[in-house]
Chain A
Amino acid sequence: MSLELKNVEKKVGAKTHIYSTNLRFEKNTINILLGSTLSGKTTLMQIMAGLDKPTSGEIWFNEKNVTGVPVQKRNVSMVYQQFINYPNFTVFENIASPLKIVNISSNEIKNRVGKVAELLKLSDMFHKRPHELSGGQKQRTALARALVKDSGLILLDEPLANLDFKLREELREELPRLFENRDCIVVYATTEPMDALLIGGNTATLHEGKIIQYGKTVEVYNKPKNVISAKVFNDPPINTTKIVKKDKTFSIKNNSVSWSCQSNLEGLADGHYTIGIRPHSITPYKQTENSVQIKGKVLIAELSGSESIIHFQSGDIKWVSLSTGIHPLKVGAEAELHMDVNQFLYFDQNNKLINHV
């Protein structure tokens, strides 16, 4: 079982919403579409579902061309950001609704609904109507309805976005468990990099209608193909700035901060490059031996109980640092922070990643 998009493009009038895309998803995988709002995630999902037709290109499901086949004929389930449930049906009827259309015996329906409801902890809510449920319960009902169909393709369009922070955490943890042993392909759209990291699977980073990178989530995170992929996949946003290489030393442009190259980068040509430093690689304390100091003026200090986010300015470059623990640096004061050189990402003049250690 596989889902493949071949040269899929979507234009609306003169505007291109999705640029020519090639993707292949395999059975039993969770595939995350990560990108900001308006990056094309929803459009792409609707094309995958059959709710929309591409301007050009083909969609193949299970090695069969399904381009143009309407969604009713495809084996697809979808869960939306707004908790979509039939307002007049009880929870039981809501979950059973896709099965009732296909003429399955009522015993079988009871059986399947029961199993899915247990998975989503809805077993004592069968008689309630959607307006009597909390936000989390409404979304669980929508999820149950999507799962009970046993579809080959399950699409989730930012399903946790409207939930409270804590509920989002809880449901996000349950998601991988819900989809195991289902023999299906799951596609999950989100704007939050944390969702991608904690759900795992594969991730495709999207930006302005283009798929920038697709691969195993951990790899896309650790080795972003280019600066855009790195920017999409980091929250708090990754620090980027121009650097200069001369002989065996890197230094930040217009700044005195410099460090020596790692062995595998010595061979690089001298010149200008871009560096990406994640906020958690910059801390008020030394994390490793291989670190370089940077001095700056503290602009904002955000201290949550477990972490400290320090915004500081060195020369005319603004940086963000994220460290564990409480570091009550005084706003307006000069501070010295340490950057872990091992975690630096280097990008060439075309903003492409240079293989690092």
Chain B
Amino acid sequence: MRVGLFVTCLADLMRPSVAFAAVKLLEDAGCTVEVPAGQTCCGQPALNSGDNADTRAIAKRVIDAFEGFDYVVGPSGSCMGTLRHDYPALFADEHGWRARAEHLARRSHELFSFLVDVLKVDRVEARYDGTVTYHDSCAGLREMGVRDQPRRLLASVQGLELVEMRGTEECCGFGGTFCIKYPEISTKMVDDKIAHIEASGAGTVLGGDLGCLLNIAGRIRRRGLPVRVIHTAELLAGMGAQPSIGEAVSPPGRPDVTAPSRGADFGGALRAERKP
């Protein structure tokens, strides 16, 4: 089964370990994973700003890049929601492209729902000693139906306890360019989210969309709170112990026994780990 990995622009630029984790999970499930170099971004920044012409141009590159794969899978409900739902609508008036966009949409899946719903994976080999809580990213939850799948996989992680926070389905205030255009509202929203995270007592917050996680981690860091932020894929791939998002390799003045450093070069770490 040939799977094209939709890397997502944020994982590509800010946290490649999320994409490496996705590759590991897919390969462990028996997929042949390829990463087309012709991909950049799904185009949401343009789409959500009303710039449909540029979105279409970007979407055409994505459609080209993923031609021929059995499945297209990405570690983000938001980006995959764009491929699944928005691309076909964007080409409503362009016949040939509409059919190609629909063909891509049918093959496009968010990572956890692909693993659980399509590949019928129900457990992973991973260990994480700690209490975690899971933030349901909006697009994953409402556009892609991602809710139970990551929780089911997390249940198989040794040493992990999942506690549900209040308002797990409430938006964290990221919203793409929203968080920069309306920082005061965004900050209020992420503070509300962080209050729920803190009240849950969990030492780690997980999510399935890097945008939300950068937002939550950025605010947690600014406020100096001792909560780790990790993409669920990283934890499921056994990479939960690497420095969390925005976390120093060795935090000054706070020896962190839960997060032994494996060095910042996750690519190297992953390669080392994969050696027999």
Is the A/B pair a real complex?
no
**Which residues in A have some Cβ–Cβ distance to B below 8 Å?**
none
